[in-house]
């Protein structure tokens, strides 16, 4: 039943909502969005028009161009530097290089060769072990997949094939279907749903292990699961570790998991879909320590490294293990360089046959920002996340859940309260005033439950925030807690956006309570 008091609060609430809407439309939001980075809006418009001219000129002259390129395999690598520039290159230089480097081999083999070199550039930016680089004479190399989900699936299928071959080498009479029915893969219960899905598509059992209190999967937990499963006659063959989980950006302990996998002949795949971009900064690179134990590693430059969707970078230590799992050679796909060992045939590294020229996007972004510009972008966003974290810390109504390592802040409201004007509070002699704020007094709604905001309360907060449609927040469940996730990832995010978001969250939190109205 509504009391007179709660009706008054409701009126106040609606009034403040209207005010926010008005001020929102008249300026706040309009001022917020500005474009920074290597191009402003006007240059973007100009370059876009130039690009249409470039394409039209190409189409107009297409009949004068050779049908098949005259270049030899491996032509591209010597034409460009062997690592990404530290400082930005100009757009003009880049377009000159499109003519000089790409057009003579367009679209093939330029598409494949630029991809191999870009994955090498990126692996140097991440300081990956040399075994993952294609240009070092190693057995490894990188490929662009569409998504992290595809990368995990491809790794799992390659691992499955590898284990079947390994077992049949010693037991030639064992049927493949028999081996497959005994295979078991492992991941943390904090992994992205795509990992479980890879198991589903691959038709193998995926066991979800419980991480420690920091949501990190530990070696001892894996060891115990392996012992249990081996005792049951099962065959462990694959572990998917996550660096930067979706829910809380936690990190599995790959320094512990890796050596166990290596000694047990288990394929370790690392899914760093979101967090991987940050490893280009030396201060975040330690988070990747242990990658040397992995068979494959993946992250999405399209998530946080300013490359447009889709671009998911995947490296393997032994490309033959990947190719071995997927190779098909029908007559209509045969070509002259098939067995020369000089070219990379990416069709054997992935599920689809056809592929786009996605490395061009990487080349443009790496050159227009330079490594320093990309590092600056990551650092700025992590600083903004810490700015939000400190706003939450300073407000005793809220709490942070987990550690803020990169751009994600998990938080929740921990007490129920509503606000009284100060004079009303004095009249009511409210002794449990918790904080003064512009003439208002916080008054805990539920005195018995001051420190524990319920899931219901947090769900209500989230609904209010998202219903206001000024910012958008996606929640998660951490153990039994409903948690709100504030993430910085927009290219143009600034401190003013963080402050604005905090204001919106505060407005949504006003007079928030569950129970009797």
448 to 417, 444, 480: CA distances (angstroms): 12, 9, 21
How many residues in the shown chain lie near ligand PLP by CB under 6 A?
14
d(CA 258, CA 470): 43
Region near ligand PLP per CB under 6 A, out of 267-275, 283-291, 381-389, 508-516: 267-275
Region near ligand PLP per CB under 6 A, out of 58-66, 71-79, 146-154, 361-369: 146-154
Q: Closest distance between ligand PLP and the C-beta of residue 392, in Å?
A: 22
Which of 91, 81, 85, 141 is CA-nearest to residue 115? 141
Angle at 290 between CA 274 and CA 381, to 5 degrees: 30
Q: Out of 296, 300, 344, 454, name the contact with ligand PLP by CB under 6 A.
A: 300
Q: Closest distance between ligand PLP and the C-beta of residue 149, in Å?
A: 3
**For residue 384, which phi and psi values (nearest 5 degrees)?**
-65, -40
Q: Is 75 exposed, middle or buried (0-12, 13-18, 19+ CB in 10 A)?
A: middle
d(CA 31, CA 244): 33
Give yes or no for residue 192 binding ligand PLP (CB under 6 A).
yes
Q: Closest distance between ligand PLP and the C-beta of residue 217, in Å?
A: 13
Give the DSSP H/E element, type plus range, for residue 43: helix 41-60
Smaller CB separation from ligand PLP, 256 or 271: 271
Alpha-carbon dihedral of residues 244, 250, 254, 257, nearest 10 degrees? -130
CB 162 within 8 A of CB 341: no
Give yes or no for residue 278 binding ligand PLP (CB under 6 A).
no
Q: Closest distance between ligand PLP and the C-beta of residue 89, in Å?
A: 28
Question: Helices marked H in 288-396 — which ranges?
Answer: 301-304, 319-326, 359-393
Region near ligand PLP per CB under 6 A, out of 15-23, 49-57, 239-247, 429-437: 239-247
Smaller CB separation from ligand PLP, 303 or 513: 303
d(CA 240, CA 273): 12
The DSSP string of 166-190 is: HHHHH-TTS-HHHHHHHEEEEEETT
d(CA 72, CA 162): 33
Smaller CB separation from ligand PLP, 192 or 470: 192
Q: Closest distance between ligand PLP and the C-beta of residue 134, in Å?
A: 22
**For residue 253, which phi and psi values (nearest 5 degrees)?**
-85, 85
Smaller CB separation from ligand PLP, 154 or 371: 154
Q: Closest distance between ligand PLP and the C-beta of residue 434, in Å?
A: 36
The separation between CA 203 and the C-alpha centre of its own chain, rounded to angstroms, equals 26
- Owner of token pair 């320590």: 289
Region near ligand PLP per CB under 6 A, out of 119-127, 132-140, 271-279, 401-409: 271-279
Which of 124, 54, 46 is CA-nearest to residue 362? 124
CB 33 within 8 A of CB 491: no
Alpha-carbon dihedral of residues 103, 107, 110, 116, nearest 10 degrees? 150
Q: Is 125 exposed, middle or buried (0-12, 13-18, 19+ CB in 10 A)?
A: buried
CB 381 within 8 A of CB 396: no
Give yes or no for residue 273 binding ligand PLP (CB under 6 A).
yes
Give yes or no for residue 252 binding ligand PLP (CB under 6 A).
no
Region near ligand PLP per CB under 6 A, out of 203-211, 268-276, 368-376, 399-407: 268-276
Q: Out of 256, 271, 389, 419, name the contact with ligand PLP by CB under 6 A.
A: 271
Give yes or no for residue 304 binding ligand PLP (CB under 6 A).
no
Q: Closest distance between ligand PLP and the C-beta of residue 299, in Å?
A: 9
CB 179 within 8 A of CB 339: no
Give yes or no for residue 246 binding ligand PLP (CB under 6 A).
yes
Give yes or no for residue 148 binding ligand PLP (CB under 6 A).
yes
String of contacts with ligand PLP for each residue 307-346, x by CB under 6 A: -----x----------------------------------
The separation between CA 496 and the C-alpha centre of its own chain, rounded to angstroms, equals 24
Near ligand PLP in 446-465, by CB under 6 A:
none
Smaller CB separation from ligand PLP, 164 or 484: 484
CB 407 within 8 A of CB 489: yes
String of contacts with ligand PLP for each residue 357-396, x by CB under 6 A: ----------------------------------------
Give yes or no for residue 194 binding ligand PLP (CB under 6 A).
yes
Residues 6+ apart with CB under 8 A from 75: 104, 105, 109, 113
Q: Out of 83, 147, 466, 511, name the contact with ligand PLP by CB under 6 A.
A: 147
String of contacts with ligand PLP for each residue 149-188, x by CB under 6 A: x---------------------------------------
Give yes or no for residue 478 binding ligand PLP (CB under 6 A).
no
Q: Closest distance between ligand PLP and the C-beta of residue 249, in Å?
A: 9
Binding site for ligand PLP (CB under 6 A): 147-149, 192, 194, 242, 244-246, 271, 273-274, 300, 312
């Amino acid at each position: 039943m509504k009391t007179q008091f709660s009706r008054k609060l409701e009126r106040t609430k609606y009034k403040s909502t209207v005010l926010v809407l008005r001020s929102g439309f008249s300026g706040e939001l309009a001022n917020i969005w500005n474009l920074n980075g290597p191009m402003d809006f006007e240059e973007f418009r100009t370059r876009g028009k130039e690009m249409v001219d470039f394409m039209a000129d190409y189409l107009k002259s297409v009949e004068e161009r050779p049908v098949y390129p005259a270049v030899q395999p491996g032509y591209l690598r010597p034409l460009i530097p062997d690592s990404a520039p530290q400082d930005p290159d100009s757009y003009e230089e880049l377009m000159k290089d499109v003519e000089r480097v790409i057009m003579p081999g367009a679209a093939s083999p330029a598409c494949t060769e630029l991809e191999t070199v870009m994955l090498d550039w990126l692996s140097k930016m991440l300081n990956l072990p040399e075994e993952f680089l294609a240009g070092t004479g190693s057995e490894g190399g990188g490929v662009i997949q569409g998504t992290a989900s595809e990368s995990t699936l491809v790794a799992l299928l390659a691992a499955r094939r590898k284990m079947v071959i390994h077992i049949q080498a010693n037991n030639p009479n064992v049927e493949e279907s028999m081996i497959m029915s005994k295979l078991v893969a492992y991941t943390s219960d904090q992994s992205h749903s795509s990992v479980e899905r890879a198991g589903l598509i691959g038709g193998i059992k995926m066991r979800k292990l419980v991480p420690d209190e920091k949501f990190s999967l530990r070696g001892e937990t894996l060891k115990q699961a392996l012992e249990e499963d081996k005792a049951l006659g099962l065959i462990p063959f694959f572990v998917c570790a996550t660096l930067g989980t979706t829910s809380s950006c936690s990190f599995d302990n790959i320094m512990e998991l890796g050596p166990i996998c290596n000694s047990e002949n288990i394929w370790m795949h690392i899914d760093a879909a979101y967090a991987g971009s940050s490893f280009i900064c030396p201060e975040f690179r330690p988070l990747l320590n242990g990658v040397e134990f992995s068979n494959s590693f993946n992250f999405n430059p399209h998530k946080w490294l300013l490359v447009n969707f889709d671009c998911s970078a995947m490296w393997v230590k032994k490309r033959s293990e990947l190719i071995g799992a997927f190779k098909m050679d029908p007559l209509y796909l045969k070509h002259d360089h098939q067995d020369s060992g000089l070219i990379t045939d990416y069709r054997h590294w992935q599920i689809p046959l056809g592929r786009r020229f996605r490395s061009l996007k990487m080349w443009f972004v790496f050159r227009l920002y330079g490594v320093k510009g990309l590092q600056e972008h990551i650092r700025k966003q992590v600083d903004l996340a810490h700015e939000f974290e400190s706003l939450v810390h300073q407000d005793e109504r809220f709490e942070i859940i987990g550690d803020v390592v990169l751009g994600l802040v998990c938080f929740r409201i921990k007490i129920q309260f509503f606000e009284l004007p100060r004079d009303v509070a004095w009249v009511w002699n409210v002794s449990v005033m918790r904080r003064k704020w512009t003439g208002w007094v916080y008054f805990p709604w539920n005195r018995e439950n001051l420190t524990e905001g319920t899931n219901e309360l947090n769900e209500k907060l989230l609904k209010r925030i998202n219903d206001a449609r000024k910012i958008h927040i996606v929640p998660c469940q951490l153990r039994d807690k409903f948690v709100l996730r504030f993430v910085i990832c927009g290219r143009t995010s600034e401190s003013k956006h963080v402050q604005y978001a905090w204001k919106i969250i505060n407005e949504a939190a006003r007079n928030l309570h569950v129970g009797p109205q």
